[in-house]
Structure 1
Amino acid sequence: MGAYDMVIGVLLIGLFFNTYLYGLVTYQFIIYHNTKFNDRLWIRSVVGSLFVLDTVHSAVAVYMAWEICVTNYNNPESLAFVSWTIPFTAVATAFAAFITQIFLCHRVMILTKSKPIVWFIGILSFLGFFFGIYAGIYSGIIREVAKFAPLEPFVTCWLTFQTSADLLITFVLSFVLSRSRTGFRRTDTVINRIIRGAIQTGLFASIFALADLFSFLLHRDTYLYAMFAYPLGRIYTNTLLDTLNARTSLKSLAGTEAETDTSFRLQNQTHTMASHQIHSIQVQKEVVTDINDPTSTVDKKYPVEV
């Protein structure tokens, strides 16, 4: 390996992946804007705020690549210090995670009606947000990479609380939705699609957050943690936008399933009626009596001639 593979190399990989995810964010935002959802003002404000934050953060990431690879091309000593872009990344990621988690927490409240669960998720999310802001500002004050040891507890708290909130939201949504299955194919197909989306989005965010944490703790003298830190904010934004835009595909899926079920039932009824034969059954009742028996009883409705 080269001398800068674990410093500049891994950083550039993270920036490339971040740029790709930002393209997905832009695509998702355009779909959301053009679909004209009848969402409340606060939801549209959240979407707009996250998109602006992602745009600024992605521009900062490109600037960092320019600063390291061009401005300081012949100055390897600059790698011993972090510029303002690293603290900004921590703060921007903490904001993106907090906004997304609060939005998903609102959905948990609608589905569960459980205030203790919602409060617990909110506390975890707020603690992750607080320690993320603190760690970002503190790293900007320290600046020297060799002196980042005091950051360990704050970064650990930040990413641990943030990941715990993600996993808890994923578990609660999956559990509640799985119990909502009705046995009807149309409804269960939609519910399974929502559950799969919740698991995928929560899983990706948790993997990158944990990778960021362990990279910082075990390889603090490199920029390996930045490879996971930069795309993390885009993952949260994609999570929120995908959750909102999925309503269109789920509605289309439900309509298709409804037409299929209706067509199947009509065809089944038609074939059943065509093959059904109506039989007319006549039952004749015969009453046999012994007229010689004086104790015999004769039905007055049918008199017997002797």
Structure 2
Amino acid sequence: MVEVKLPKEIMQEQDVKKYFEMMLESVIRSHMTITTIFLKCVNNTSSEVEHSNVNTQLAHFLMDNIRKTDLLFQLEDGEHWGIVFLQSSDVEANAFLQRIFKLLKRNRTIPNEIGLKASITEIRNNAINFETLMEKNKALLADDHQPQWLIERIDDYRKQAIEHVKVSIIEQNAIFRKVLETTLISMDITNFTFEVTAYEDGYSFLQSKTYQSGHLHLIIMNDILPRNNGLEILHSLRAMPNEKKFIIYMMSERNSEIAALNAYEGGVDELLVKPFNLRLLEAKIKRTFARYWL
């Protein structure tokens, strides 16, 4: 067998798996999109030497045309290439393929009998592992009668993962507390599901320990509360290691610049002056989570 001399920057299949698994964690944690391309060389030449030379040329060509953030690797069978695009959609991957296909067709150093076919997989959830990804893409490109320059797609993993959000309402007025609880439970926000719990005072909330989880946590509370008021809770939460997981809405009857300044300097994300329209609260929450998903 003729040895194919690959650039040292090209990774091998067994080395890519651990990186892919770390990337999948970021898909959920950071809402990052991963898109992969798998390439297979359509080689109608009979010369093993020529086949080896073409593979070497393709390796250098791909290295010259990917971005520094892209991950290029060769599969163990020696017939397939893989590219992992970080924070890129299938639209960008398709544009990349169209560009390199056009360049390769004009490359006179590669015989006319040589072509490529490709498959694209956009990944927005973690319902796949590296082995399944390879198997599905290799199966899609397995038909030797497929034409050159074909681009296939796998759309099974484009649906965004649903993120579980804890919601804590801290309000001493029982009627208004129930109104807020009903409003939050009935909200429908794309990509998120709410687990709503209501508390009548700050002490009950702090004793619950629910804020110690790693989940995203929306907290809607009064600034003035019996037994640990809202400002005390605010300072406690913002001092915690996981404080970036908290989205804190403060409710207040004080409509003054000083009260607002103290709240925002303390780490509040939104300040709502009572009385307020519940539709305004819903609009603010939807906007907050729309920004969070970006």
Normalised to the residue count of structure 2, the TM-score between the two structures is 0.23
Higher relative contact order, chain-length normalized (CA < 8 Å, sep 6+):
1
Greater share of strand:
2
Larger % of helix: which? 1
Larger C-alpha radius of gyration, 1 or 2?
A: 1
